[in-house]
Amino acid sequence: MSKKLQNIKAVKQMLEGNHAFQTKKTHGFTDAKQKAELNKKHEVGDIWEETNASGTIYVIEQKNGFRVKKPKNSISAEVKKYLNSFPNCPKDTCTCKTPNRLDNKMRVYHGKCFDCVIEMEHQLRIEGKYDEYEKNRIKNNAVAWIKTAEEDVNMLKKAYTEASTLVTNADGLTETWAAKMTPEEFEEKVQEQFNEFKKEFLENLNKEENEDD
């Protein structure tokens, strides 16, 4: 066979996923059925499973000219699948197939798509439970905001501490710039102000809840 014809044959095998370099690493399978699967001609888009000698199950997908191989039920895949799912949507009624921006936003807060959240809130209104639900939702959002603000305060204190010392001379000696407050004084003052704000914020939140009851 001429070299040209050999190259044409090799290209054809690659497109079919049967070239030697595409299959030589798949070995150690546990039974004849899987060996037969390995040598089987697959069409683009075909997906099947293979198990190696150590018992690891792989999902194989035939692409156009190559195969994609990945472990089945890997931890990262399961986590990604969960994060991209809507675990709280009623499976018998949910019709969400292609999530949009509103669906993804509702997933963060409720674990449901937008339509299922609307249906849930409608049902709560019918049952007379919506006001309590709305109150709890506002409170949870407020508590989450306070937590984020507290993280920002900690970042601010850290930034001030790190900025209070600068390496400025050629000898690499550390010099402290003159500031009105030391890092310790700054941290204490910022934390004190935030604690006062947090206390007042939560007191007002609880006051509003009591007035609504």
Per-residue pLDDT of the chain (213 residues; tens, 9 = 90+): 555 555 556 555 554 555 554 454 444 444 555 556 556 778 888 888 888 777 778 888 888 888 888 777 665 565 566 556 788 899 888 888 888 999 988 988 888 999 999 999 999 999 999 999 998 888 888 888 888 888 888 888 888 777 665 544 455 555 555 456 777 888 888 888 888 888 888 888 777 766 666
My answer on whether 168 and 122 are in the same domain is no
My answer on whether 144 and 173 are in the same domain is yes
- Contact status, residue 68 vs residue 47, Cβ threshold 8 Å: no
pLDDT of residue 71: 74
Alpha helices, H only, the chain: 3-16, 20-23, 32-39, 75-83, 101-110, 114-126, 130-163, 183-212
CA atoms of 119 and 23, how far apart (whole Å): 51
My answer on whether 111 and 164 are in the same domain is no
Task: Tell me, yes or no, whether 83 lies in a domain.
Answer: no
pLDDT of residue 57: 81
Task: Tell me, yes or no, whether 187 lies in a domain.
Answer: yes
My answer on whether 142 and 124 are in the same domain is no
CA atoms of 177 and 102, how far apart (whole Å): 49
Q: Are strands 57-62 and 67-71 parallel, antiparallel or unpaired?
A: antiparallel
Among 91, 134, 135, which Cα is nearest to 113's?
91
pLDDT of residue 110: 87
Name the residue with tokens 């937008």: 114
Q: Domain span at residue 176?
A: 138-213
- The count of structural domains within the chain is 3
Backbone angles phi, psi at 63, to 5 degrees: -100, -175
pLDDT of residue 122: 95
My answer on whether 143 and 210 are in the same domain is yes
Task: Tell me, yes or no, whether 111 lies in a domain.
Answer: yes
Last-in-domain residue among 101, 128, 155: 128
pLDDT of residue 126: 95
